[in-house]
Chain A
């Protein structure tokens, strides 16, 4: 795209061919180069795994448009495209009455939060009683209701403390019911004491249903962030609850050896619109029109980059192999990119068949674990390494059943990409997001 514009500037007519997954990038590039609305030709994505015959087919289909772009007498339509542009600039005005002194005052307040040890290491939004009341009124719940409790530490999170964490993280009150759904479901995981574990797990949230659109949750490009408020503030508020309400801080009760960047924030939405399968919440027994959070621990995010595989088994073996690298996990969420999902589903594979296939190939030979010195390890392969004299060739599955795997479709449909998110134990909690009047959304 940039090359086409550059060549036009050098005086030669140019036609750029893009795939439909990259038109937004192409439009942004044209705008940046002062050529808003520059006309180009579009072919279906992807190209990289096509056979030569399929490439010829694409070439035949796109040629008329390419010839149109390059020919005299067709500029009128180029001009039409130019006029579409990106519309007028809607830059919001600065808040009225803002002065340097008032901003300095706000900066002092932000510093105060750091001094009190109330943050996750990033600045937080200052919260007053008025904000807390507003959030609690919105959900209509008892502020003193306990929603999470750490028995052995004697700490608890009430609706009120959840509201404080939400506001500090940057939530508006409309986000608050989503955080409450996460917390309302999470007690069984708190009871594992893994919030304090050296394994340093993050809390991952997946959002399904209409609330994704209502609140602007991102399910597509850069689904793991950054740039999307709803994902960012829900992920962050969850951690602020752990730090401030449950009192589990890094270096104290949180003994994570290395932790993971996901401990700042790990919240995605499922790309239900571009998934070939039923959404996660429907698979887990909720009606399609419900908004649901699914929450669990997560050790990290590992990419599976496979753009050239053409068979479902190739992609799935690559995914299972990546899952098998981290030997100390018995559960895993597979966040499959839409391109992989469509390739696999187009050959008739159901979600359950995908999960079973991955489960069967997720593991290692006993001999591998021996070589890593994991023979006496109680965590590797779910502690089922067995007797020392057992054969090296035996393949040890890491999980007990396909139910140890969650399959979510998320990300942009622009490349063959999947991310695997392993966890120590497969404990998944799904919960309906209540609407402000207490009914199901």
Chain B
């Protein structure tokens, strides 16, 4: 069964892993001699006589990582001191100093706060009027070390470790100035008060923000690659059910599309265009360092309304999201980074008081646009125009000529959405924690849909010793998604609600569903058919981090991701699809269990104070097990009994299982010369069980360089430039989703004869099968002007994907029609621009803006033998060399011939016949450009934000029109009201052809529309309650807001909404609308409290 040779090969690899691990371990052993708490163990040898105190402090700062905080005005640092210690701790040094100078000290981590000692302070305070108080940041955290000076004097104090201060004043009407690094200066007049508490407002130093990158972090200033980041606050502000929706339109280069308006439906993300045709286009999601399970594992076909395992992440638990866009950033994730990487960090507790947060919102959703279908009168006129006799048979059926049912109204509704969330966070010196629970409920705007989710999270971290930290982050989710069939299915609620003529009633006189027409009653389908998807999800990891040396850290992390999906479908006999079977029931379970281990070793080294090195070495593996089972039965004795125990006839029962594994080695070196020249080099080697034996390991390197011109002398004097950086990178990433066992010669079961099991050979092995490779070139500039009030980023990229996995056609005489092979090539090139400005910054009014715009051009360079792939999906998408992926390839409609009323197609080859050869590229579902604009206003305690999103130049195949404007198929279907203007007699000039036109149903550009749109995605008006008021309620923070999502959409598209895509953006089958569950407008209000 096993092939012997590859097995030996694996042994060699096994040894290599052993060696790697041993190396890491040996390193640890050699370096593991005791180093405890930094303060306790950092040793000083100082011998200075009669030097100013300042000099001693400087020496300590230079020789250690300690830094001092004190107030020059309060503390006489020019006084001379003598110190003589040898290999003593900082305590000893400070004790000696305090004896000589009457200073007191407090050590907080590596920060040492110096104050005059108590005796000293008393003598000052006795002199006059005293003001006391506390200084905190906006979140209520106390701020130690804040400078407080009396305006117009040199007198001042600093706050202590608890953020408290007291200052004695000679004048009760003095003004105090509070200042602190990283915060805006604040002036407060005393006005005779003896208690003044101050909240400091954080300075917007955006470029100093720390961004999470693969296996580490970096400040934005020092990034050499292209990384988009979104903060947890921004995400929370959007009030979204899942993370992808929360970052939609926020960052350049990332196109996010809600494939359907179904609550909880999959959302697709496309980073810098599509780099694969058949191996998956979604990015790798990494949560707290561990790659998680994503994708749709549903076994019950719901057409365009797939669910996605990513939906289980609670967006409100997120501290930050980083999107790694170029190879230099993503390549450290190797053969899975080809579509980009999304890094998600969840919140952690902070040392200090326990914080309690409560958040809640409630809203109503509505469908803001309905299709304009004909009413009963119009429909009757239409049918009479070609079938005068039909009416009599119709009325013998219903007996009522006055019925005019608006079926869309019958299946659509106002639907509530609500969220309740409680979290606790805090910690002491050794332990921090974050605990949160959330209940989310979203009813759908279509009858019968509902999404219900409970999230829980516990993040905990504990310092076992001063250099060993243990921690764990665990989240659990239960969700229940009730869907109705819609997109892509003619058995669905919407297709039936739109197609069924208005002359039928919803209910019979006796209250039962009317089922007399040949359309299924959509209200019955919505209310009576059960489609449950129940998810149980646990994502958890445990880690240990060990500081072998101060600058050498070993981290070992284990993660599990358990995704259990249970689906149940029940169709009672009253709906037509299950009528003959006396009810249909299905029960299916999908389990995806993943175990991940990773070990990293980090080493920091500075040479000559100028050359900073940052080394990373790592090993990881991942094992995934998937298991499916399903059973379906028919013949239920009653529609009341919906579980399978009641059903008489077994239709189908099956189970299957899959296993896959990945093993990786990775390394990175970052070099930083005086924060001026930055270099990063990385390499990852990924082995995957999906790869063929001839290409078992993918080695994917990347390098990048950045030059911060603003650090150069020649720019130092130009004050308005705060930052100017040029960066360039090149690297390789891979895509390993190429399916399993393509390299083996296999027999497949299930090819049975006369109820005896049968097996057949199913593939020609391709031992060379390997990952798809994307070579990525990126260059860009980052500019910040006027103290970062204007920040501008521009990126230019060129990505070329080679070894695209495609079906290589084989001659049928071989017994096979195709085999998977790495044969294609495609490219993406593009530009991205981000601009953020602080237009007005005054103490009680501010206005800031963020704008981003992205241009991507996709082009297929090579297919197998140049053979196009055509006729994909309902919209006849195609992959053609020289064209972007997914272009619409069909007949070009020239409009309606006024003399015949027929749609006329272009006869491309002029052979007098319209054949397949006349098909051409008539549209492109890929947008020309996409982007977003947000404006944020703050006036005193009010804030207002408006977010606009736009997509330009995407074409949509409007499959709904093809179905409900064709006047051919199911001629009695209700049609769009546009057909009232159809061609009726020679000479009529109209875009709508005649009834029964022979080309009406054919897939042509007649049904292609411009899907560009500009959307006011989000308007929020908020109010933050003032601190003084809140203290009476023991609250630190309180906020109330009202919000409207999707207030207005400007688009030429005639369907319900241009955001449609039954198989997601980036897929070859892009841009088709077919009774897609519509996007909704939501009105909501919410509150936030912090205790």
Do A and B bind? no
- Residues of A at the B interface (CB closer than 8 Å) are none
- Residues of B at the A interface (CB closer than 8 Å) are none
